[in-house]
Every structure is written in structure tokens, then in C-alpha cells.
Amino acid sequence: MTLARSVLTCLRPAPLAWAAGLLLTAAAPPARGPQRVPERVVVLTFDDAVLSHATYVAPLLRKYGFGATFFVCEFREPPFADKTKYMSWAQIRELDRQGFEIGSHTLTHRHVNKMTAAELGAELDSIEGRCRRYGIRRPTSFAYPGYDTHPTALAVLQARGYSLARAGGAKQGRVRAYDPVTDDRRLIPSFSTSGDNQPQVLAALAQAQGGRIVVLTLHGVPDTAHDWVSTPPALFEEYLRYFKAHRYRVLALRDVARYLPPEPTEAPAATN
């Protein structure tokens, strides 16, 4: 067989194989892609590294088999050094080892709209450095202190690999469930819970349907550092029983990635 003929022999079936491949591609579901959001998905997030996260919340979540994200920072007032109020980094490491997500809440709880890009970068560096030192997985989720957001912060978070960021609700005028199709993945709205808004929380949970996910923000259970955001332990366990009784999937924020398409790699156009 001449070289030309052997090349032809090799090439001839190729268009057919190529066409068959196309057909197969068209018929088969995509190998990777966002999953459909099931009904009753709730994401639990806990802010500020409060001591009760390690001593009460995590053990109870494990009993129920629920996931959660703990957004940690080192508060200045009352000071993080007060271990009657806040977790130690060893306790934060233990949460990571137990399978919970550790997210960044800045180092000093500064609001992102009060910082330059470099200042926010330094705050993120500090939390990432502590995670490295303690062998904690590098955070890829972020929560905005005080729920304040800013376009510069969104760009910094994206550039540094923070693929999801949780905001509040009221400050963005969006007290509602998160819609992975239409909401920016770094402006995820959440419902705040405390000791006296049980009717609103239950109403919020009813929104976990039709492709939407309910994200709850909690602080300490209880919170002795900032008592105005405290959730009573008995009420918290009532919520967990409710999730179980109504068959909610209770996830960490990072688990939401499975419902999102891959993020385009190109840098977003500057907006300001």
C-alpha cells in the first residue's frame, strides 16, 4: 500500500466516525454541567467565629447529618482573644476536619465598601494564611461583613478564586431566596435569623422551590459577643427538626456550585 493510499484509507472513514460522534454528543447528556436545583434546598451559614459554633452548633448539625458554612473573622470588639466568646483556630480547624466549610469573613470584620482593593486583599491574605498554618482548606466562599457590598470587592473576590459570596438581603433590597440562574454568584441574598423572627424564617423556607435556594445567616447559638443577633439554642434545634421533618437538603454554601454553570474564565469588563 502506498503512503497516499494508506492515508486515504485512514481518512475515508473519518467523516462517518465524526458524524457518529456528533450524533452521540447530541444524544448523550453533557458530561459536566449544572445540576437541577431540587425542591427544599437550604444553605446554613454562621458568621463571626462565635464559640457556640464549635460547642453547640456543629455537634447538633452532625447529629442531623446537615452541612453548613462557618464564616470566620477575628473581631476587634469584643476581642477575638476572648475565648469565652469566640472559637480558637484549633476549634475552627476541627470544624474543617468534620467536613464543614470554612469561609472568609475578612480578618477584622471591616465592611468591603470602606476598603480599597489592596486593603481587602490584605484581609483575605490574613485569613488564608491562618488557614494554611492550621491545615484548613483554603476558603473559596466569602460573606460580606455588615452585608455591605461593592463592585470593587466583587472583582477582587473573583480574581482571588472566591467563587461564591453571601450578602444579606435588606441592604440589597432583595429579601428573598437565591436564584442561581439570575443572581450574581457573589451577591447571594440571605435571610438573617435571630431569636424573634421565627415567622419570617418559616415563610422564607417556603421559598425553597422552583429552582430557588434559601440561604440562612445565623450568628451565635447563643451569641454572647453580640447578643442582638443571638439565636436561642432551643429555637435552633426546632429549625433543624423542621428541616428533617420536611425533608430539606441542608448544605454548605460551597455545595451550591453543583447548581451553577462553570464560570467564564475571561475577566469581567470594568464597571467603574
The interface with Zn ion within residues 137-156 (CB under 5 A) comprises 145
Radius of gyration (Cα) for the chain, nearest Å?
Answer: 23
Residue among 139 and 145 whose Cβ is closer to Zn ion: 145
The least CB distance from residue 246 to Zn ion, in Å, is 28
The residue at minimum Cβ distance from Zn ion is 47
Nearer to Zn ion, 180 or 222 (CB): 222
State the nearest-atom distance from the C-beta of 225 to Zn ion, in Å: 10
The site for Zn ion, by CB under 5 A, has a size of 3
Contact 239, 61 (CB under 8 A): no
How far is the C-alpha of 215 from the C-alpha of 167, rounded, in Å?
A: 10
Q: Between 96 and 135, how does the x/- string for binding to Zn ion read (CB under 5 A)?
A: ----------------------------------------
Q: Check if the beta carbon of residue 132 is closer than 8 Å to that of residue 138.
A: yes
Nearer residue to Zn ion within complex by CB, 144 or 236: 144
Give the residue, chosen from 42, 43, 48, 92, that forms a contact with Zn ion under the rule CB under 5 A.
48
Compute the Cα dihedral for 137, 249, 148, 218 and give only its sign.
Answer: negative
CB of 39 to Zn ion, least distance (A): 30
Nearest to 163 by CA among 138, 145, 146, 182: 138
Residue closest to 98 by CA, chosen among 152, 127, 137, 146: 137
**Which run of H or of E encompasses 74?**
none
Q: Strand pairing partners for 101?
A: 69
Nearest distance from C-beta of residue 107 to Zn ion, angstroms: 12
According to the binding rule CB under 5 A, does residue 223 interact with Zn ion?
Answer: no
Are the beta carbons of 68 and 239 closer than 8 angstroms? no
Segment lying near Zn ion (by CB under 5 A), choices 4-12, 40-48, 78-86, 260-268:
40-48
Taking CB under 5 A as the criterion, the residue among 41, 43, 47, 106 binding Zn ion is: 47
DSSP E strands, the chain: 41-47, 69-72, 101-104, 141-143, 164-166, 191-192, 214-218, 249-251
Q: By CB under 5 A, name the binding residues for Zn ion.
A: 47-48, 145
